[in-house]
């Protein structure tokens, strides 16, 4: 086992016994939502995973240790410290471990640590992708590179239109990452069920999803798969409300000259401010929905 990795005993037992485990990220806690809703949501997501028969493993870096599975106290610590914690992508891992510091795991580092621990399924809200204007800024999330090289199934609600969804799908296609729609042919757009872009394949059951991923693994294919699970209709947002809010957030981001790793957290917070908390509620609901699909799919994978 990797000498920097600590697997929570409950998680380790489940992995060794071939029981279902679902990985969860910690950047969504520290940078994706405000305190205390972030902590409440993180704990509820873990509860939903348990209710659906799997063991949750929230992933983070604490004091230079890669943690697969956090205690409720550690989740509280992350939520309270919030954006003060370094947002950790692949390039940050060695430095944080060398210095013994904390790091909030993005989709990228959560996939890496989940894979080190032997966890195959990971649920989150949304992934990073190709930003609008990337043809000039070259701002393309490391999440896409990780999907191209690490064999973990990532279940999300699609990507927000803070990104260029069409270019994100093109990039994934170039890197051989299959994009699956859970019960849909349309790539979901996080707050709304449809982005107007097609997924590669539609899958209608947890069983079918598990069979597909198993085949992917048995073929020895490098890289993960991306599952877009649409937000439930009753929680989805009006495109005429959310789209102008996103446009406004991007304009402000450009005006302030915000760049690099600060871009996504800035846009997420700004969209939430503009929509007065409605988007936060949708965000929480879609994460719950993804956690359930992930737990049930992880259970199928273990059969």
Euclidean distance between the first and final Cα of the chain, in Å?
A: 25
272 contacts ligand PSU (rule: CB under 6 A) = no
32 contacts ligand PSU (rule: CB under 6 A) = yes
Verify whether residue 25 is a known catalytic residue.
yes
261 contacts ligand PSU (rule: CB under 6 A) = yes
Q: How far apart are CB 262 and Mn ion at their closest, in Å?
A: 9
Residue-level length of the chain: 303
Segment near ligand PSU (CB under 6 A); pick from 7-15, 24-32, 63-71, 93-101:
24-32
CA distance 25 to 89: 12
Which two structure tokens, joined as six digits, stand for 37?
């809703």
What is the footprint of ligand PSU within residues 122-161 (CB under 6 A)?
Answer: 125-128, 141-143, 160
Which C-beta is closer to ligand PSU: that of 106 or that of 184? 106
Chain Cα centroid distance, residue 96: 21
143 contacts Mn ion (rule: CB under 5 A) = no
231 contacts ligand PSU (rule: CB under 6 A) = no
Give which of 85, 214, 193, 95 is closest to 151, Cα–Cα.
214
Which C-beta is closer to ligand PSU: that of 15 or that of 159? 159
Contact 64, 96 (CB under 8 A): yes
228 contacts ligand PSU (rule: CB under 6 A) = no
How many degrees, rounded to 5, is the angle at CA 119 between CA 115 and CA 125? 90
Residue of 25, 46, 76, 300 marked catalytic: 25
Helices 107-117 & 142-149 angle (0-180, nearest 10): 30
Residue of 8, 160, 270, 292 marked catalytic: 160
- With CB under 5 to 8 Å by kind, the binding choice for 223 among ligand PSU, Mn ion, none is none
Verify whether residue 10 is a known catalytic residue.
no
CA distance 144 to 130: 8
Cis bond upstream, residue 36 (ω within 30): yes
How many residues at the interface with Mn ion, by CB under 5 A? 1
Q: Residue 103 pairs with which residues in a beta bridge?
A: 61
Write out the catalytic residue numbers.
25, 160
List of residues contacting ligand PSU (CB under 6 A): 25, 27-28, 32, 106-107, 125-128, 141-143, 160, 190, 261, 264, 268
């Amino acid at each position: 086992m990797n000498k920097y990795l600590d697997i929570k005993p409950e998680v380790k037992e489940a992995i060794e016994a071939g029981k279902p485990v679902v990985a969860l990220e910690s950047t969504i806690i520290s940078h994706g939502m405000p305190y205390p809703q972030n902590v409440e949501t993180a704990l509820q997501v873990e509860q939903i995973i348990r209710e659906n028969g799997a063991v949750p493993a929230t992933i983070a870096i604490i004091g230079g240790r890669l943690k697969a599975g956090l205690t409720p106290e550690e989740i509280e610590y992350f939520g309270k410290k919030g954006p003060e914690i370094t947002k950790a992508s692949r390039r940050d891992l060695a430095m944080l471990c060398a210095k013994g510091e904390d790091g909030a795991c993005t989709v990228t580092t959560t996939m890496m640590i989940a894979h080190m621990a032997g966890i195959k399924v990971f649920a989150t809200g949304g992934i990073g992708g190709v930003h609008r204007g990337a043809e000039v800024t070259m701002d393309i999330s490391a999440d896409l590179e990780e999907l191209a090289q690490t064999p973990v199934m990532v279940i999300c609600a699609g990507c927000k239109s803070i990104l260029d969804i069409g270019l994100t799908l093109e990039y994934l296609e170039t890197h051989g990452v299959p994009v699956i729609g859970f019960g849909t042919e349309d790539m979901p757009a996080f707050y709304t069920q449809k982005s107007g872009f097609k997924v590669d394949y539609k899958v209608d059951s947890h069983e079918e999803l598990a069979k597909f991923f198993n085949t992917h693994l048995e073929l020895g294919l490098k890289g993960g798969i991306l599952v877009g699970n649409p937000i439930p209709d009753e929680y989805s947002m009006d495109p005429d409300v959310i789209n102008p809010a996103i446009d406004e957030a991007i304009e402000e981001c450009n005006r302030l000259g915000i760049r690099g790793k600060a871009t996504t957290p800035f846009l997420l917070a700004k969209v939430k401010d503009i929509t007065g908390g409605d988007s936060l509620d949708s965000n929480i609901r879609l994460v719950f929905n993804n956690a359930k699909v992930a737990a049930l799919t992880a259970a199928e994978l273990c059969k």
